[in-house]
Chain A
């Protein structure tokens, strides 16, 4: 399997404040990699760096043979990296269908069309004309995932998609995600719940204070290792 995306000594700053201190990361095609870590460990910052919302050095992000660091978000999504942002970030002025169509803005062709999304989440077809933010939390998360898929990405990044949802809904969402990734999509999953993160991923990285504190195969890392990587000594 070839490396789809990698970062090399990735550093990120908010003004003078340094949030990431040299992250080395890689993900192979068709792989699901989880990123875990305590609040403030740098997970969201890392994703912002990957998607272009935070500007980083050109050489620090490498994707399909090109340096992507420092590119604008709209250029990065055109290259096939889509994000399901934390908190869903749906557009309140747009209906469900319009939100999904926004995912198609780049015009990338592929298997995901409005019809395919409705086949994956039938409830969304029923509610397609409703304002997106009038839906339940779980349904909104479906819109957010569907919207990201509509750009026909090669790499899907999911930021805390279980946050604030009922356990049964989380199960449903991850079942759908399992279906999607089985078809060969590569995904980075950021997850607060370590159990879920280990279950859905092949490999995982743990961040702590802007550094990688642990990495390994998800079924091999032990509870103690993770506890240590989470909180340090």
Chain B
């Protein structure tokens, strides 16, 4: 029994990281119906920026976030204002094609500078520490920190959306961008803020990813799939749904891996397909 409880626990913990990947995707889709195909590659890009920061400045990974998150924020803002705003239209194909191109660009840029060698962000031993819960049940300290970060960021995003001026502008422009413009909302700027926040979160997620596991320049698309699945499983339009979606995906993978070590990722995908078939709007949809 403990064996399966442990599987669920580990699944929930890894789900925290998936949720961190997925929150920004959910935000960008929610505000401007834009699907960022390069989202996974940006996770890896941030992991590399985090790697350089820890190496050159000699910072521990958590201090490095203070440097990387603002960089990610600026990259997000510039990317939206300079490129993605021009792709937003009724036709979703344009933004899909452009972000797909950005995905390839980031992968090749990273390959050019870092080669295909795998790297990791050294986290000073924290990745080996664990919290003993009961006899035979333990949680890794780093995964617990990651999950706590995901919960806090989900809460903050939900608060930002629900209770602030910029959050109202996000929802208003998502409903009707012309009417929002008539209220004085500069849509180009509001969209750029949304992407800046989305990529800013990846500043945290990328470093956590690099602390948890090794990474190479071409790892992005896999992270994108996990993020995508978390958003769909959770349901569009709700950040708590996205967090839950990440956890459900993690649990499915973890249970699958206990059943057969080679099947973990596959069981996650199977669960995703089952959700698409039987509950295509996800578990906690808010979008009409």
Interface residues of A (CB under 8 A from B): 51-53, 72-74, 77-78, 82-83, 85, 89-94, 98, 101-103, 105-106, 147, 151
Does B139 belong to the interface (CB within 8 Å)? no
Contact between chains at B168 and A51 (CB < 8 Å): no
Kindly state the separation between the CA atoms of A145 and B185 in the bound complex, as whole angstroms.
Answer: 18
Q: Determine which of B168, B172, B184 lies in contact with A77 in the assembled complex, contact meaning CB atoms within 8 Å.
A: B184
Q: A53-B181, A72-B181, A78-B184 are in contact. Are A92 and B175 (CB under 8 A)?
A: yes
Q: Determine which of B174, B180, B187 lies in contact with A102 in the assembled complex, contact meaning CB atoms within 8 Å.
A: B180
Kindly state the separation between the CA atoms of A142 and B185 in the bound complex, as whole angstroms.
Answer: 21
Kindly state the separation between the CA atoms of A74 and B181 in the bound complex, as whole angstroms.
Answer: 5
Does B133 belong to the interface (CB within 8 Å)? no
By beta carbon, the residue of chain A nearest B166 is A105
Q: Which A residues are in CB contact (< 8 Å) with B182?
A: 51, 53, 73, 77, 82-83, 85, 89
Contact between chains at B186 and A77 (CB < 8 Å): no
Q: Which A residues are in CB contact (< 8 Å) with B181?
A: 52-53, 72-74
Q: A98-B168, A101-B168, A102-B168 are in contact. Are A89 and B176 (CB under 8 A)?
A: yes
Within the complex, the shortest CB–CB distance from B78 to chain A, in Å, comes to 20
Contact between chains at A102 and B186 (CB < 8 Å): no
Q: Which B residues are in CB contact (< 8 Å) with A91?
A: 171-172, 175-176, 179-180
Question: Top 9 nearest A-B pairs by Cβ distance?
Answer: A106-B184, A73-B181, A89-B179, A105-B184, A91-B175, A77-B184, A93-B171, A91-B172, A74-B186
Within the complex, the shortest CB–CB distance from B182 to chain A, in Å, comes to 5
Q: Which A residues are in CB contact (< 8 Å) with B127?
A: none
Besides the contacts A89-B176, A101-B165, A106-B183, what 13 more A-B pairs have beta carbons closer than 8 Å?
A53-B181, A73-B178, A82-B182, A85-B179, A89-B179, A89-B182, A90-B179, A91-B180, A93-B171, A94-B175, A102-B172, A105-B169, A151-B183
Q: Which B residues are in CB contact (< 8 Å) with A74?
A: 181, 183-187
Q: Which B residues are in CB contact (< 8 Å) with A82?
A: 182
Does B90 belong to the interface (CB within 8 Å)? no
Q: Which B residues are in CB contact (< 8 Å) with A92?
A: 175, 288
Kindly state the separation between the CA atoms of A93 and B174 in the bound complex, as whole angstroms.
Answer: 9
Q: Which A residues are in CB contact (< 8 Å) with B180?
A: 91, 102
Q: Determine which of B171, B176, B178, B183 lies in contact with A105 in the assembled complex, contact meaning CB atoms within 8 Å.
A: B183
Q: A74-B184, A74-B185, A151-B184 are in contact. Are A94 and B172 (CB under 8 A)?
A: yes
By beta carbon, the residue of chain B nearest A144 is B179
Complex interface residues of chain B between 208 and 266 (CB less than 8 A to chain A) = none
Q: Which A residues are in CB contact (< 8 Å) with B172?
A: 91, 93-94, 102
Complex interface residues of chain B between 162 and 208 (CB less than 8 A to chain A) = 165, 168-169, 171-172, 174-176, 178-187
Q: Which A residues are in CB contact (< 8 Å) with B186?
A: 72, 74
Contact between chains at B175 and A93 (CB < 8 Å): yes
By beta carbon, the residue of chain B nearest A99 is B172
Q: Which A residues are in CB contact (< 8 Å) with B175?
A: 91-94
Contact between chains at A53 and B165 (CB < 8 Å): no
Kindly state the separation between the CA atoms of A78 and B186 in the bound complex, as whole angstroms.
Answer: 11
Q: Which B residues are in CB contact (< 8 Å) with A89?
A: 176, 178-179, 182
Within the complex, the shortest CB–CB distance from B102 to chain A, in Å, comes to 27
Kindly state the separation between the CA atoms of A85 and B180 in the bound complex, as whole angstroms.
Answer: 11
Within the complex, the shortest CB–CB distance from A136 to chain B, in Å, comes to 20
By beta carbon, the residue of chain A nearest B187 is A74
Within the complex, the shortest CB–CB distance from B64 to chain A, in Å, comes to 36
Q: Which A residues are in CB contact (< 8 Å) with B288?
A: 92
Within the complex, the shortest CB–CB distance from B77 to chain A, in Å, comes to 18
Kindly state the separation between the CA atoms of A53 and B187 in the bound complex, as whole angstroms.
Answer: 12
Kindly state the separation between the CA atoms of A49 and B26 in the bound complex, as whole angstroms.
Answer: 35
Within the complex, the shortest CB–CB distance from B152 to chain A, in Å, comes to 24
Kindly state the separation between the CA atoms of A83 and B176 in the bound complex, as whole angstroms.
Answer: 15
Kindly state the separation between the CA atoms of A73 and B184 in the bound complex, as whole angstroms.
Answer: 7
Kindly state the separation between the CA atoms of A102 and B165 in the bound complex, as whole angstroms.
Answer: 8
Kindly state the separation between the CA atoms of A73 and B182 in the bound complex, as whole angstroms.
Answer: 6
Kindly state the separation between the CA atoms of A151 and B181 in the bound complex, as whole angstroms.
Answer: 13
Within the complex, the shortest CB–CB distance from A186 to chain B, in Å, comes to 17
